[in-house]
Chain A
């Protein structure tokens, strides 16, 4: 078990559905991340929130919409996905020291992921 909790563990959705992935951490970390991981590939960064503000959006299609309601929660809203979006979606968090170009991160703590299948 990890200190970053992701729900659901598995999700099957059709291309017209709207669903949300949830991530929660109570370690007081101020940076939270969404990664997408396809089989036999490394995690690919999607979004980074730092101090509850979106700091990085790696040109992710608009059918993926992140939300950070507070420092402990991170959501990923899904709408009109494609079958190629099927993957393991990993949430991670890290502590942040400093701001901007002088900031440093602790190692990432990962959740166990949500295995998403789009049919």
Chain B
């Protein structure tokens, strides 16, 4: 059975800290791995990763995929209170998008 496992499930940090969120997966027919940020409503897209070792970067956020070890990390540097959210990892498994349980990040002032 396909699995997407995120860790930690919950994380509390202070503004300015750097955080690393983890996502490991076991799926057949892997196509891509995606990161989303969910605050109160719809998840919003952050990154889509298809190739190993190529870092994707957007401002203070970056992500990388390791297809040999079957995991991805999402880094957030110089965290701000606005980064508080649930970060969801999802794997596209041939026309089927499966989510991990998410990491709830709380950034305190």
Contacts and interface: CB of A to CB of B under 8 A. Distances in A.
Interface of A: 2, 4, 31, 33, 40-45, 48, 50, 55-56, 90, 92, 94, 96, 101, 103-113
Interface of B: 29, 31-32, 34, 36, 41-45, 48, 88, 90, 92, 94-102, 104
The secondary structure that dominates the A interface is strand
A43 B92 contact: no
B42 A2 contact: yes
A107 B48 contact: yes
A42 B99 contact: yes
Contact of B41 (A44, A94, A106, A112): A112
A45 B42 contact: no
Given A2-B42, A112-B42, 5 more contacts: A42-B99, A96-B95, A106-B48, A108-B90, A110-B44
